Amino acid sequence: MSDNDGKKKLGLGGSRPANVKQSFSHGRTKNVVVETKRKRVVVPKPGAGKAAGGAGEASAPVGGDPSKRPAGISDAELERRMKALAMAKAREADEAAKREAEEKARAAEREARRAEIEAKEAEDRAREERAKAKADEEERKRKQEERAKAAAAAAPDPAAVPGEPAVGRPASSPRKVDRETERDRGGKSKPVRGEDDGRRAGKLTLNDALTGREGGRQRSMAAMKRKQDRARAKAMGQSADREKVYREVSLPEAITVSELANRMAERVADVVKALMTNGIMATQNQTIDADTAELIIEEFGHTVVRVSDSDVEDVIQQVEDKPADLKPRPPIVTIMGHVDHGKTSLLDAIRNAKVVASEAGGITQHIGAYQVKTDSGSLLTFLDTPGHAAFTSMRSRGAQVTDIVVLVVAADDAVMPQTIEAINHAKAAKVPMIVAINKIDKPDANPDKVRTGLLLHEVVVEKMSGDVQDVEVSAITGKGLDDLLEAIALQAEILELKANPGRAAEGAVIEAQLDVGRGPVATVLIRHGTLRQGDIFVVGEQYGKVRALINDKGERVQEAGPSVPVEVLGLNGTPEAGDVLNVVETDAQAREIAEYREKAAKEKRAAAGAATTLEQLMANAKANENVSELPIVVKADVQGSAEAIVQAMEKIGNEEVRVRILHSGVGAITETDIGLAEASGAPVMGFNVRANASARNTANQKGVEIRYYSVIYDLVDDVKKAASGLLSAEIREKFIGYANIKEVFKVSNVGKVAGCLVTEGVARRSAGVRLLRDNVVIHEGTLKTLKRFKDEVAEVQSGQECGMAFENYDDIRPGDVIEIFEREEVERQL
């Protein structure tokens, strides 16, 4: 039986058969016949060509030969297609002509722009060449003059080489090699970073395939934008290279490499490379001296401007005010005189206040600044300076900022040592003086004795045909106060005091203290300008931003003009009394000035305390060999008191014994102070401050003595007696308890009663008490009542609650601490 079983093969008649071997699984195969279809060839009929040719010659159809026309297309359709084809060809020709015209216009614009840029560059080059030629001519003339002077003065140096000046580059430093020169010489030049010689262009690594042929770093959008800008500039015919800008570089005494690069606007790597070329191996964080930095700046083509560290204070401009900007200001009146001659009482009588009631021992411990409005409506600013001898420096600061000095002398007394000091301070400050003879109401008052005593010190009053006004007053009865104010107003009118309130503020620090609740606080008397809330200022070695301004009445104000005393909050530290406050523009300027002043003061103190030569060192060692020292640590409530105590301590002693201040500061006594005192075997003197709980515990454990004082000359007298060894029995205070005020209640017929919790020791009705606010003594006195529930009790133990009321004092607040103590008599020992 055949393969096809007698059946007819499938396929067309014109096909050609072919055999294909087809493979299956398990090694089976099969032959398959595949038929291939042949292309159909159309052969025209013999008579068709001639008929078509004759017809074409007789009348050619619109579309050409009908035999070559696509099948199924009529003459009309063929005509329409031919018209469309002709229109398309015409449109293409128009577009090509339009494109050619636009390209010519763009080429003309590029040529015009390129010509303009080239003209500008040629003009710049000509200007630079003219400037360079002028500079060369001036340099040549200057060299000729110098050469002529040198030849006239002395014989020329044979070693000198005429010509160009020597370059300020070390002889050993290698010179830079021009890469193009190397190529011209035939040497091989190593490709610089960023250049690609194309050797690895065709190689594909695994890292390139994974990261997009960027070696792990993708090009940023800014880099792509810069590349597009360069390509666009190149296409527009502009130069891709920027013109280098040469700058004036401010150069201090020392500068870091990175800061030098920033000021020159150069890359740090280029500056480091230039340093290495000059033989200096430095990183970007290392500091170089000014000479080296100047060499690098000149190498980059910039101009050097040398500045010193003190130039930072140039931002504080000392400008002269225009006469049109000056406006009248209140006079600053300073009350001076001997202790207990009635200065504060006289000021109280003027301003109807009882400041003297809050002062310990009846004397003024701090400088007070107040503003008083007279009956005529004029403002007077008063400074009340303490009269004790220990406050000499504080009195001198009062004289430095004052316009008029009122010298208070008691009519029942005479001219005393502190009165003489006040006269000397007023004369040194060159300010007018008014003599107020106080206590005229006393039976033994003798004003003429005071006037006569002033003659010995060249103070001649008007009553004795002099030019110094004198007024007899009484702070108790108020006699003569109007005459005193009239004399002050008359003197102020003669002085014609004026200031410009529109400029940046400038003032003097009268007093400074560290308030635990408010931070560093400075009492500032404004001299010029207006100080506003939010101003940035520098005062001495401190700086800050005005957070709040508080006037002498305790009210918050937004600004303070000339001759206005205010408390300033917002300092970063406690300034020294007497420092000058200046307002600056930025916080960075204030910080830079304060850091420079602090550094200068530290260097000055180090230079003053160190022996400069070996002879001085040996002399100091020999002088200190037989001297006994009494070390002490002093903490006070305000800066002025601490300064006055230190100055008083320095005057105590002789060739055999002296007092050494280990540390003086402002604020509460801390554990650091106790540790310093323990290491040196020194007592801690607290003036109107107290030790906190941890410091008290540390002092009890280590046996460090803490002494508290509220009157400064008690402290001075105790130190004198301790240093001299003449120690008699003293009245020592023994602290028996502490109580915290939890709440304050108002009770009729009693006043304010403090609800307290006794935290340490015991509270006794018969003991003395002090009120502490932020570890600063606010009040000292006795208890009016001590109650446990509703019963009056003699004492309350630790951990129990009680009610306390002070005798003649009601300013108590929750959170205050009550200190309970008893006085006992003990024998003093060194």
Question: Per residue, what are the HEC states of 455-514?
Answer: HCCCCCEHHHCCCEEEEECCCCCCCCHHHHHHHHHHHHHHHCCEECCCCECEEEEEEEEE
660 three-class SS: strand
Cβ atoms of 681 and 631 within 8 Å: the answer is yes
Neighbouring CB atoms inside 10 A of 572's CB total 15
Q: How far apart are CA 692 and CA 671, in angstroms?
A: 8
Q: Which residues contact 664 (CB under 8 A, 6 or more apart)?
A: 633, 634, 635, 636, 642, 643, 645, 646
Residue partners of 172: CB distance under 8 A and separation at least 6: 279
324: which DSSP letter? G
Helix extents (H) in 154-220: 179-185, 206-211
What Rg, from alpha-carbon coordinates, does the chain have? 50
pLDDT of residue 527: 84
Those residues whose C-beta lies under 8 Å from the C-beta of residue 245, and which sit 6 or more positions away, are 265
CA distance 440 to 678: 53
How many Å apart are CA 203 and CA 215, to the nearest integer? Answer: 13
Planar angle of CA 583, 586, 592, nearest 5 degrees: 90
Closest CA to 280 of 264, 292, 270: 292
Which residues, 6+ apart, have CB-to-CB distance to 432 below 8 Å?
Answer: 404, 405, 491, 494, 495
- Phi-psi region for residue 165, left (φ > 0), alpha (ψ -120 to 50) or beta? beta
Nearest one of 43, 281, 29, 309 to 173, comparing CA atoms? 281
Burial per residue of 599-611, b for 16 or more beta-carbon CB atoms within 10 angstroms, e otherwise:
eeeeeeeeeeeee
Per the CB < 8 A criterion, the answer to whether 796 and 766 are in contact is: no
> How far is residue 289 from each of residues 170, 253, 254, 306, measured CA to CA in Å?
16, 6, 5, 12
How many angstroms separate the CA atoms of 583 and 596, rounded? 16
Amino acid at 739: A
Q: Residue 13 corresponds to which tokens in the numbers above?
A: 């008649």
- At a CB cut-off of 8 Å and minimum separation 6, what does 447 contact? 411, 437, 440, 472
Question: Both tokens of residue 397?
Answer: 């600061």
Residue 62 neighbours by CB distance under 10 Å: 9
With beta carbons less than 8 A apart as the criterion, state whether 331 and 434 touch. no
Q: Please give the structure tokens belonging to residue 722.
A: 């301790």
Name which of 316, 296, 217 is nearest 255 in CA terms: 296
Residue 750, token pair as written in the block: 């009693």
Contact 539, 570 (CB under 8 A): no
- For helices 257-264 and 268-277, the axis angle rounded to 10 degrees is 120
Contacts of 782 (CB under 8 A, 6+ apart): 768, 769, 806, 807
C-alpha to C-alpha distances, 131 to 127, 135, 136, 301, nearest whole angstrom: 6, 6, 8, 16
Please state, in angstroms and rounded to a whole number, the distance separating the CA atoms of residues 805 and 745: 10
Low-confidence ranges of the chain (pLDDT < 70): 1-18, 36-72, 154-218, 238-242, 308-315, 317-319, 352-368, 384-400, 603, 605-627, 654-656, 724-730, 827-830
Q: What Cα–Cα distance (Å) separates residue 165 from each residue in 148, 169, 200, 214, 754?
A: 17, 12, 48, 49, 88
Q: 623: Cβ–Cβ under 8 A, 6 or more apart, which residues?
A: none
pLDDT for 363 equals 44
